[in-house]
Structure 1
Amino acid sequence: MKTLFRLAILLVFMGIAIPAQAQDSLRIAAVVNDEVISLLDVSMRIRMILVSSQLEDTPEIRQRLMPQVLRGLIDEKLRLQEAERLGVTIPQEEIDSQLALLAQQNNMTLPQFEAVLNRNGILLDTVATQIHADLAWTRLVRMRLSPSITVSEDEIDEALARIAKNQGKPEYLVSEVFLSIDSPDQEPQVRAVAERLIAEIRRGADFSAVARQFSQSATAAAGGDIGWVGPGQLSPPLDAAIRAMQPGQVSAPIRDTGGLHILALRDQRRAGMPEEGTISLKQVFLPLPASAPDDAVAEANTVARSVVERAKNCSDMTRVAREVNPNGNVDLANVRISDLPDILRPIAYNLPIGEPSEPLRVETGIGIFMVCERHIPEASLPSRDEIAERIGRERLDLLARGYMRDLRRAAFVDLRV
């Protein structure tokens, strides 16, 4: 309420009558236990989200965002109340340090950052309150929940074995927005919010900014970044959704334990296979249209099999290529594996050096390939400490969600809008 009181007192001392619109902003949006969230608080937070997400500020967009913004402010209030109840305090110097860091990340000094906020209709206190709530909740969760988390050696062994087993398999760079559902009757409302957020993201809203403001997962602080995940690392519904997506896509709402997830697939690679690896590749290519008659296909396959039988090393591949198709073969030297077509990457990674591949049918012909050099930095498994830390973070996030759910259930919340 500091921002609200400061604004109201300023108006009184200036002798200015508060117009109807300002009076409306001082109305109560919600009462959380014995504390008030005003419409000004809601409006200010919406404005901050619109600016950080690069969304147009229109009445329609504000109306769509308001329910989830208010829900987030209620959660923020509950976190601060719980931190105060248990004596968790955040020194002002720590909040100021985070504000300065935020300004630095935007290539500004703190006074410059505050001036930009003011020009966009945002009070610095709005940002500071959110930082305060995040810091207090993080400290509270670690203090109360971290001591109960243990990760056994067997669990670390299982995780390492799973990672080793997934070497060479697809791996996905994923971000999330998580919206909790505390009771079945909430699901329609939360799903509607998820659909609205997805619509705004697909209209151009920045996913990481939306995650920071709306996600109720620990990853919110990192803009929803989950990091690289392999097969089976996420829950089955999330794993299935990610495998069906292409980089750059955003999922529909996915129901999972505790709530709804919105996933963004940012990139894809093969686990343990560094993309900076390079190869030198020789090829024999036999042109063959997709509509070629059966006898032409049979003849080309016969020639392709003869290439496989005759090419015993890279020198042989060069000689055979000149004999079979003098003008249609291009050697690839020191090519990044990440730049190769998807159909050639398994060959680049897995084909033994100096051995011809099986004939590979593509749209314009048949190719036989041979890897002559391969340079791939040795892939390293994460350390046991890194595995234990990751498992611990995942468990702490689940416990924190449960803690927050309990706070909501025990709270008195009176919505006025």
Structure 2
Amino acid sequence: MMGAATNGQACRRGSGKLRAIVLGSALLLASAITLPPLTSPAVAQSVYTAVLVNDVPISNYDISARSALLRLQGASSSQAASRAEDELIDEALQRAEARRLGISVTQAELDQALQTIASRSGLSVSQLGQALGQRGVDLATLRDSIEAQILWDQVIRARFQATVRVDEQDVLAALDSRSSDEGGSELTTTEYTLREVVFIVPEGSGANTREQRRREATAFRSRFESCAAGISAARQLNGVVVQAESRRFSSDLSPELDEMLQETPVGRLTPPEDDTEGVVMFAVCNKRDVRSDAEARRDVESELRNEEGRLLSRGYLRDLRASATILRPNN
């Protein structure tokens, strides 16, 4: 039962792999899409290949469309064109590398990313497309950019996940720095000393048997007033198993279990709950507040891993650029 609670907590801490991508895009777009439409008229232009990346063409239209998206995201007009060309060259290399590794993005993943961006802006995907269109940006341009980001994220995971290492000294140094920035504040957690008491319900038993065991557990709970005497008494009961003493921190438990343990006085049992083995209660033999940097440590390790991943990503992309053939036919 304790393991299941801990696993549930870990699952809730997990943030989908698209979160960083869609959040960044959403924050950039959220304020911009409410601006009034551009007043300059659309100018027809002939479409031609501006850049060849390993024989993959990037047209002047592609660059113009990406420039418009970058301007919407805050880039100046003077920066947008050169940044757009660089981004599209990088993405051509990233897409080729993803194909080489057999990595692809599903339509569902793209739809999910766009839906998240739209919802963070208070819009539907259709409304987001209309808002972008009013600013001279096609929704397909945003979709292409998001697709490339998701692909590259998966490439980096496949390529470096097993090799990213976080040095212990770097973690300690970052924790010390964080404590200093926060004025020396300490994180505390509750340490519980527990004994699990299980009223066994044999496999295949009916509902009546389980209900009878629950009544027995409830009656025993009312008599349980200390771990010293209560655990010894529990061991004398038929069909009752007392697990070895364990210590758990509140930060490692599900919120529901932590709240239940907080509400149970020391020396008493938690309310009975059904489990696969029978009816389970926890004897709270001790609880104390202790200094804990477990949460801060997890955050620091995640930040350091992300930074290491960014460094590896930049180096990887530099290598791809160095070996690529990049031509500008009209230059």
Q: String of CA shifts for 1:12-58, please: whole Å, max 9, x gaps.
A: xxxxxxxxx6452x1111011111111111111111222332x7xxx
Q: Does 1:68 align with 2:89?
A: no
Partner of 2:55: 34
Residue 164 of structure 1: CA displacement?
A: 3.7
Is 1:103 the counterpart of 2:124? The answer is: no
2:171 to 148, 156, 164: 156
Query: Pairwise mapping of residues 295-306 of structure 1 onto structure 2 (< 5 A)?
Result: none
Distance 1:151 1:35, change over 3 A: same
- Whether the aligned pair in 2 keeps the contact of 1:272 and 1:380 (CA below 8 Å) is no
The question of 1:89 aligning with 2:110 is answered: no
2:308 aligned partner: 395
1:118: Cα distance to partner? 2.2
2:298 matched to which residue of 1?
385
Flag the structure with more relative contact order, 1 or 2, with Cα contacts below 8 A and sequence separation at least 6.
2
Tell me if structure 2 keeps the 8 A contact 1:32–1:411: yes
* Counterparts of residues 231-246 of structure 1 (less than 5 Å): none
Deviations 1:188-224, CA, capped at 9 Å, x for gaps: xxxxxxxxxxxxxxxxxxxxxxxxxxxxxxxxxxxxx
* Alpha-carbon spacing, 1:413–1:158, altered in 2? closer, same or farther (3 Å): same
Q: Which residue of 1 aligns with 2:72?
A: 51
Residue type of the partner of 1:135?
I
Deviation at 1:397, TM superposition (A): 1.1
Letter in 2 for 1:81: A
TM-score of the superposed pair, with normalisation by structure 1: 0.41
Amino acid at match of 1:39: N
Q: What TM-score, normalized by structure 2, do the two folds share?
A: 0.50
Equivalent position SS for 1:144: helix
Instruction: Tell me the secondary structure at the aligned position of residue 408 of structure 1.
Output: helix
Distance 1:99 1:165, change over 3 A: closer
Taking structure 1 as reference, are residues 51 and 394 closer, same or farther at Cα in structure 2, changes over 3 Å only? Answer: closer
Q: Which moved more, 1:127-136 or 1:43-52?
A: 43-52
Secondary structure in 2 aligned to 1:30?
strand
Give, in angstroms, the shift of residue 161 of structure 1: 3.5
Could you list the runs of 5+ residues in structure 2 that have no partner in the other structure? 1-42, 187-290
Pick closer, same or farther for the CA change 1:159–1:62 going to 2, 3 Å.
closer
In 1, the alpha carbon distance for the partners of 2:298 and 2:305 equals 10
Deviations 1:373-397 (A, max 9, x none): xxxxxx9855322222222111111
Q: What value does the CA root-mean-square deviation take over the aligned residues?
A: 2.7
Please tell me the residue identity of whatever aligns with 1:149: V
- Give the SS at the match of 1:383: helix
- 5 Å matches for 1:104-183? 104-165=119-180, 167-168=182-183
| 1:154 to partner: Cα distance | 4.2
Amino acid at match of 1:408: R
How much does 1:64 deviate?
4.4
| Paired position in structure 2 for 1:405 | 318
Distance 1:74 1:166, change over 3 A: same
Partner of 1:37, secondary structure, is strand
Q: How many equivalent residue pairs? A: 185
CA positional deviation for 1:167: 5.0
Ranges in structure 1 where 5+ consecutive residues have no aligned partner: 1-20, 56-60, 169-270, 274-378
Deviation at 1:96, TM superposition (A): 1.0
Q: In percent, how many aligned pairs have the same letter?
A: 30
Q: Deviations over 1:77-98 (max 9, x none)?
A: 1111111111110101100111
Identify if the C-alpha distance between structure 1 residues 153 and 27 changes in structure 2 by more than 3 Å, giving closer, same or farther: same
Q: Label 1:31 to 1:388 Cα distance change in 2 as closer, same or farther (>3 A).
A: same
Deviations 1:281-314 (A, max 9, x none): xxxxxxxxxxxxxxxxxxxxxxxxxxxxxxxxxx
